[in-house]
């Protein structure tokens, strides 16, 4: 029996060696960089070394080449030694059967030895370590760091030679070498990861919505969330001191555009703090609104919100005027408007909370006319799309092709939108008739409808306006 122990130990060692290199290869690929950063901040030297590897494409190639060379050597050794050894063990009992010739017994022993080794190599040397390395990537890569570092130095000349040959072949095929950015995620991939995390319960729905709103800033434009021209609260440059004070007290905003003649000719922007300082100055000059205003900035309505946020921060502004393609005033936008696209409605002591949706029944919802179609889809899990309009009220008017009246309705994607109230020519509220829910007796797996989450309130009379 003792003559079998050493060969079995050698075979087991080669399988274990193969498993080690497989685990090293998969763990370095699967390990989340954020966990390594946290471990490095706690003082882990292996984590710092692995982070240096992940941040450099050449270091990654050397690490993976070390693992691949180790797998190759272990596999070749297992095949060369293990096949011959196990075949010799099987040859004697097969020959003693008496029914097989020696060449046939030798062939059968070889086939059985290869099959047994292949099974052990694939299961114990490949599948098991791969699964463990992916599931426990962080502890695996950290524990194998010193071992892989030693082996990498040991095989450094061979690794450098093989890497060089491999890079030459890749370049000859016209394929650019992969850089460190190959491990980074695009915004679309990050959104997919967020959705996957929310589905398995690693992220709350509110957190998911918050992150998705950040990504949506790239796709949404200033024109979609601005306060439209007909809702702008502005002061004429001809306003007297008494008129200005009364206006500010009535509206209760902090910044007001000041115009001359009409809303296409803005003189500047009046800040309440500037007005307060002027009023508090006992030696003040006669009231002159033109001397109190600050310069106002302009942006096109096609500007993406992420770039608008950068401009707000860079130029230290809170309010800008939005112009259309013809140079006329389309509306205005504040920093608060952009922030609310991410975090939702921000109310102060002067604001009245107006929810975007009001659930009247499982299949009937009241929506504001200025609610964005994207927000309606998000809140009610719909898939309504329209290339020309942004709001629910605009969608009804576009479908009907005329100015709407209370009671008018339009059906889009099995959803009926009924105008409930109007204000002037604008749709104030819309009744959203959802498709009938499945019969609970025939579809017991269907989840109950969710209550709508409060989204960002678009600017409108009586709402937040453009205070900042």
Q: What is the pLDDT of residues 15-58, one digit of tens each?
A: 999 999 999 999 998 888 888 888 888 988 989 998 988 888 77
Q: How much is the pLDDT for 307?
A: 94
Highest averaged pLDDT of the listed ranges 1-15, 117-131, 375-389 = 117-131
DSSP 407-430: T-EEEETTEEEEEEEEETTEEEEE
pLDDT band at 441 (very low <50, low <70, confident <90, very high): very low
Between CA 429 and CA 432 the distance in angstroms is: 10
Query: Sheet of 426-433: strands edge to edge?
Result: 357-361, 364-368, 426-433, 415-423, 409-412
Q: How much is the pLDDT for 209?
A: 80
Q: What is the largest CA-CA distance in the chain?
A: 124
What dotted CATH number matches 357-433?
3.30.465.10
In sequence order, the β-bridge partners of residue 365 are 359, 432
Structure tokens that stand for 197 in this block: 């995390």
Q: How much is the pLDDT for 189?
A: 77
> Quick check: 134 pLDDT over 60?
yes
DSSP 50-89: HHHHHT-HHHHHHHHHHHHHHHHHHHHHIIIIIHHHHHHH
> Quick check: 426 pLDDT over 60?
yes
Q: Which helix (H) or strand (E) holds 259?
A: strand 255-260
CB 392 within 8 A of CB 369: yes
Listed residue (3, 18, 8) closest to 82, CA to CA: 8
What dotted CATH number matches 222-343?
3.10.580.10
63: buried, middle or exposed (CB in 10 Å: 19+, 13-18, 0-12)? buried
CB 365 within 8 A of CB 434: yes
DSSP 187-244: HHHHHHHHHHHHHTTSS-HHHHHHHHHHHHTTT-BHHHHSEEGGG---EETT--HHHH
> Quick check: 270 pLDDT over 70?
yes
Q: How much is the pLDDT for 33?
A: 84
Q: How much is the pLDDT for 273?
A: 92
Between CA 23 and CA 70 the distance in angstroms is: 11
> Quick check: 436 pLDDT over 70?
yes
Tell me the pLDDT of the chain averaged across its residues.
83
Q: How much is the pLDDT for 440?
A: 45
Q: How much is the pLDDT for 285?
A: 79
Q: How much is the pLDDT for 182?
A: 56
Between CA 243 and CA 207 the distance in angstroms is: 46
CA-to-CA separations, 407 to 204, 238, 398, 418, 432, in angstroms, rounded: 39, 43, 16, 6, 12
| Higher pLDDT, residue 457 or 48 | 48
Q: What is the per-residue pLDDT across 339-383, written as a single tens digit (0 to 9) for each?
A: 988 887 776 655 555 667 888 888 899 998 888 888 888 888 888
- Domain chopping of the chain, boundaries: 2-183, 187-216, 222-343, 357-433
pLDDT band at 186 (very low <50, low <70, confident <90, very high): confident
> Quick check: 83 pLDDT over 50?
yes
> Quick check: 463 pLDDT over 70?
no
**pLDDT average, residue stretch 195-214:** 81
**pLDDT average, residue stretch 452-457:** 44
Cα–Cα–Cα angle for 37, 40, 42, rounded to 5 degrees: 115
Q: How much is the pLDDT for 183?
A: 57
**pLDDT average, residue stretch 113-117:** 88
């Amino acid at each position: 029996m003792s003559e079998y122990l050493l060969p079995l130990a050698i075979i087991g060692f080669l399988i274990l060696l193969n498993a080690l290199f497989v685990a090293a290869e998969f763990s370095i690929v699967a390990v989340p960089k954020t966990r390594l950063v946290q471990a490095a901040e706690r003082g882990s030297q292996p984590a710092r070394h692995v982070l240096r590897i992940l941040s450099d494409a050449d270091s990654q190639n050397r690490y993976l080449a070390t693992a691949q060379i180790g797998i190759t050597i272990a596999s070749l050794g297992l095949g060369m030694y293990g096949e011959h050894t196990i075949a010799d063990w099987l040859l004697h009992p097969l020959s003693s059967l008496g029914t097989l010739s020696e060449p046939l017994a030798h062939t059968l022993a070889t086939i059985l030895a290869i099959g047994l080794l292949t099974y052990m190599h694939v299961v114990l040397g490949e599948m098991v370590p791969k699964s463990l390395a992916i599931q426990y990537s962080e502890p695996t890569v950290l524990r194998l760091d010193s071992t892989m570092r030693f082996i990498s130095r040991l095989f450094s000349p061979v690794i450098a030679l093989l890497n060089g040959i491999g890079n030459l072949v890749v370049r000859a095929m016209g394929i650019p070498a992969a850089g460190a950015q190959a491990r980074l995620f695009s915004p679309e991939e990050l959104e997919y990861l967020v959705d996957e995390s929310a589905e398995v319960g690693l992220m709350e729905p509110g957190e998911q919505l918050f992150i998705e709103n950040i990504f949506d800033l790239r796709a949404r434009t200033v024109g979609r969330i601005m306060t439209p021209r007909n809702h702008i609260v502005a002061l004429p440059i001809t306003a007297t001191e008494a008129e200005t004070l009364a206006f500010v007290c009535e509206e209760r905003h902090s910044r007001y555009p000041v115009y001359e003649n009409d809303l296409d000719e803005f003189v500047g922007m009046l800040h309440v703090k500037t007005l307060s300082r002027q009023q508090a100055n006992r030696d003040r000059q006669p009231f002159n609104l033109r001397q109190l205003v600050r310069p106002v900035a302009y942006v096109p309505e096609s500007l993406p919100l992420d770039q608008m946020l950068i401009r707000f921060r860079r130029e230290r502004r809170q309010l800008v005027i939005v112009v259309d393609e013809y140079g006329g005033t389309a509306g205005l936008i504040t920093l608060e408007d952009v922030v609310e696209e991410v975090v939702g409605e921000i109310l102060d002591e002067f604001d009245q909370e107006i929810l975007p949706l009001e659930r009247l029944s499982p299949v009937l919802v009241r929506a504001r006319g200025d609610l964005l179609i994207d927000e309606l889809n998000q809140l009610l899990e719909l898939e309504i799309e329209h290339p020309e309009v942004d709001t629910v009220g605009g969608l009804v008017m576009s479908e009907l092709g005329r100015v709407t009246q209370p009671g008018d309705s339009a059906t889009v994607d099995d959803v009926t939108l009924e105008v409930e109230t109007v204000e002037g020519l604008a749709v104030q509220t819309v009744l959203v008739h959802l498709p009938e829910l499945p019969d609970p007796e025939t579809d017991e797996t269907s989840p109950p409808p969710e209550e709508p989450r409060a989204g960002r309130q678009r600017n409108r009379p009586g709402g937040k306006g453009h205070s900042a």
